[in-house]
Amino acid sequence: MYLNIYDISKEIFSLKAYPGDPEPGKENWFSMERGDPCNVTKLYMGSHSGTHIDAPRHFMKNGKDAAAVPLEKCMGYCQVVHYNGKIGNDFWMRRLENGVDKLLIRGDVLIDMDAAENMVRYHLNLIGVENATVGDQTCQKQVHEILLGNEIVILENLQLAEVEEGKYFLAAQPLKMREVDGSPVRAVLLKGL
């Protein structure tokens, strides 16, 4: 059997941070070039650097942290769709079939409060976008509260340019970090399982 693997993650250090977030950086802690026995790198970044998931704690005071996000929500079969613009009611009927509960959207998409409420109604447990965030300046907080309040995992900063529409197996597990509101991930899609 032939298995296709699609790396849908963006490289952390070459990606501009979301406005106001810390810029990612790194420095040599130990360096073999300086005579140390090994290389160890010290990392600086926000919890939402690069391709990442939002945990409920991101917008909810007592929400689950990154370590408590159920892994079954971050891996499993998903549907990849191509779409640009604001998600309206016509979007759902054509794209959520056969019990899909994870949806990745390729394109410049706006998820507003109505779209977020539909994601709850259709029992999604993960929504992934290429944008750095869901919502826009007028509704970003409310969209996050709706999705995260219903424990829908938000996967942001995806790179789906090489991925056709269809069904894939997604693996995008957060790092096991307690009391943290999000986590970078190495998100991959598998086709051919």
Instruction: Provide the b/e sequence for 160-190 (b: ≥16 CB within 10 Å).
Output: beebeeeebbbbbbbeeeeebbbbbbebbbe
Note if 144 is an active site residue: no
Of the residues 48, 52, 58, 144, only one is catalytic, namely: 58
List active site positions. Answer: 58
